[in-house]
Structure 1
Amino acid sequence: MKQSFKTDSKEFIYTYVRHKDEHDLCKLEMRSFFGYDSDSNVLISKTAIDPSRSPFMKERLEVLITCNSFEELMSEAERFVSHKTFRVTCLNTIDLGDTEKIGHNKRRKMEKAIGEKITGEADLDHPETHYGFVLLDGVYYFGSVEESVPYWRFHQQKPHMYSTALSTRVARAVANIAVPHPEGVKAIDPCCGIGTVLVEARSMGIDIVGRDINPLVCIGSRKNLSHFGLDCEVVKGPISEVTDTYDAAIIDMPYNLFTHITAEGQLGILKDARRITEKLVVVTIETIDDMIEQAGFNIVDRCVARKGTFERQVIVCL
């Protein structure tokens, strides 16, 4: 007979919601966080990532118990003690990989059944602890749940806007791709514009500074950061004047459609980036592979971020 078992080491299940145009960008962010990706909207990893960092994550389940049937899960729950008020949620609100969504009424019955087995005080409105369970490929996983808070949405309305700036979702993903694990990492956005990437990066605690040759957008960037209560150094000046070195750089490449810059100017930016950073994430609407290699970088990963018919390439270079 199959037996339930408790996990020996931490394991996390992440669920995702993304538009089809964002599929490739989401997978690149996955690879940056975890070292691999998933074709489906669920990923299992031993790496702990705050789900609010990603614009695509829906929730994270830290697995405490794994069972091969709902009856076994009920039996395990009966031995489970919660020292804080709690509620229990079934995460199968959407299709997860090959596992079909569980209907609303059935989910509620399952949640109630598990909640009644747990020793402790249930509180559906303001619980101190959020437990959850999910069915994936015939296996039930139970644990603590952390829901994603879409902070990037709060950043959509800035005092200063720029028609060609990245969307907050793309900017947040790009910041994560450049700095997936922020501890001890210093980053720079040397063509920061009105600070879309800076806002997302600083809101996630990434140690980043900004720079731009346009004094007006520097002022706008500082005001946008201040509007959200974020501290970040933004300096006026070209990347050629940067003397410090950084672990990562993010460059939303200026292009001729909106900015007067030559191919030589773009190459100069990339060469200066090679001088100051070990890792570069480039966002570009043009194919600039030869230019990147000429600057001394190797392309190690990439994707295309789409919005309708408009496409941006996101290129990871070392």
Structure 2
Amino acid sequence: MLTYYFITNKENIQLARDEAIALITAYNPNAEIISKERLLIVNSNKDLKQVWDRAAMLRYAGRSYDKVDLKTFACKVINLTDNKLDQRYYIDKFVKEMNLKNAKVSLNNPDVVFGIIIADKEYRCILLSKNNKKLLKLHKHPAELVNKLAILMINLSGVIEDEILLDPCCGTGTIIMYASYMGINSIGCDISMKMCNYTRDNLEVNNLSASIINCDSTRLPIKRTDVMVSNLPYGRASSTYKRDSKELIKQIIDECNMARRIVIMCKEGDEPEYIKSYTIYVHSNLRRKIVICR
């Protein structure tokens, strides 16, 4: 049994927690999760490194350890309290208690980075390194999702490797690209052949593959998907083809009723019935809703 420590960003703690919990329960439904504001402590009999690699809104992640054989190390104090701390005190105490006198400090390329988390009490862990990359895009669009939000929405759906994700309004393919990169079987649809070709090009430049279909999202030729994740059109920069955006969203969701989880982004006022919703500031004057419909 391992204990993992996941620490969220400050910007939207509830959304960050929900993203992490969706991933944790997807990879291990039996994991024990203890939530302490920005800190999630998780006891798991399965590896949860994928949670850290995929998460868009986690700041740090670490795991428990027994004995550590190392020649070099570094320490990082992570202060989750409102108090100003003497970091040197915690580092010196840690080094003394761990008997690390024979190991050398290396800030450039240490064998291990220890995390000293100060919250309701002191927690110690080995900080995990992150395996991810920013994908390339040959084609862009003014209304496309930023990478971080695309990753966040995929993660909120709880989809994992070898399952199927459908984006019925894929545009230039940001969601499809990152889902494919995560090892998820991805299907992208768009009413615009131009957007379909853009998505294919953006996949190809990253050596990724997905099924891209030119079709109307209210009449999908799709029989099965595990989740639906999409930035749905709202009528200005992303065209609804002269259809009412709120009614169009309802039709698309009805068309995707085979999905166990539906996560969409839409403009405020267009939200369908939902389990949870979050307000996202795309920039200072533009707000959107991320909605978990089921």
Query: Which TM bucket (shorter chain)?
Result: 0.7 to 0.9
Residue 43 of structure 1 is aligned with which of 40, 44, 48? 40
Q: What amino acid sits opposite 1:50 in the alignment?
A: V
Counterpart of 1:55? 56
Write the distance in 2 (CA, Å) between the matches of 1:39 and 1:214. 46
Aligned-residue offset at 1:184? 4.8
2:182 corresponds to which letter in structure 1?
Answer: M
Residue 213 of structure 2: which of 207, 232, 235 is its match? 235
1:159 aligns with 2:138: yes
Separation in 1 of the partners of 2:202 and 2:130? 23
Q: Which of 211, 226, 231 is residue 189 of structure 2 equivalent to?
A: 211
| Structure 1 residues 170-202: Cα deviation after superposition (integer angstroms, max 9, x where no partner) | 111001011x35045211111110011112222
Q: Aligned match of 1:272 in 247, 255, 274? A: 255
Structure 2, gaps ≥5 residues long = 26-32
Q: Which amino acid in the other structure matches residue 262 of structure 1?
A: R
**Structure 2 equivalent of residue 262 of structure 1:** 243
Matched, 1:29 2:24: no
How far is 1:83 from its partner? 3.1
Question: What are the residue-to-residue correspondences of 1:299-314 with 2, within 5 Å?
Answer: 299-307=274-282, 308-314=284-290
Partners of 2:94 and 2:137 lie apart in 1 by 40
Given that residues 17 and 57 in structure 1 are in contact (C-alpha distance below 8 angstroms), is that contact kept between their aligned partners in structure 2?
Answer: yes
Residue 77 of structure 2 corresponds to residue 91 of structure 1: yes
Structure 2-normalised TM-score? 0.80
Helix, strand or coil for the counterpart of 2:128? Answer: strand
* Distance (Å, rounded) in 2 between the aligned partners of 1:166 and 1:202: 16
Q: Secondary structure at the match of 1:52?
A: helix
CA contact (8 A) 2:228 2:262 kept: yes
User: Unpaired runs of 5+ in structure 1?
Assistant: 1-8, 65-79, 294-298
Structure 1 residue runs of 4 or more that deviate by more than 6 Å after TM superposition: none
CA distance in 1, matches of 2:226, 2:60: 29
Deviation at 1:43, TM superposition (A): 2.1
Residue 151 (structure 2) aligns with = 172
Which whole-Å deviations, capped at 9, do the CAs of 1:135-169 have from their partners, x for residues lacking one?
Answer: 3223x322321034563xx23x6221110111111
Residue 82 of structure 1 pairs with residue 68 of structure 2: yes
Instruction: Look up the equivalent residue of 1:272 and give its one-letter code.
Output: E
Distance 2:177 2:88 in 1: 41
Higher helix share: 1
Alpha carbons 2:169, 2:188 under 8 Å: kept:
yes
- Residue 147 of structure 1 corresponds to 129
Q: Percent identity of the aligned residues?
A: 17
Q: What TM-score do you get using the length of structure 1 for normalisation?
A: 0.75
Relative to 1, partners in 2 of residues 1:56 and 1:119: Cα closer, same or farther, differing over 3 Å?
A: same
**Alpha-carbon distance in 2 for matches of 1:163, 1:306:** 16
Q: Which has the greater radius of gyration?
A: 1
User: Please, which moves more after superposition, 105-114 or 208-217?
Assistant: 105-114
**8 Å contact kept, 2:17–2:38:** no
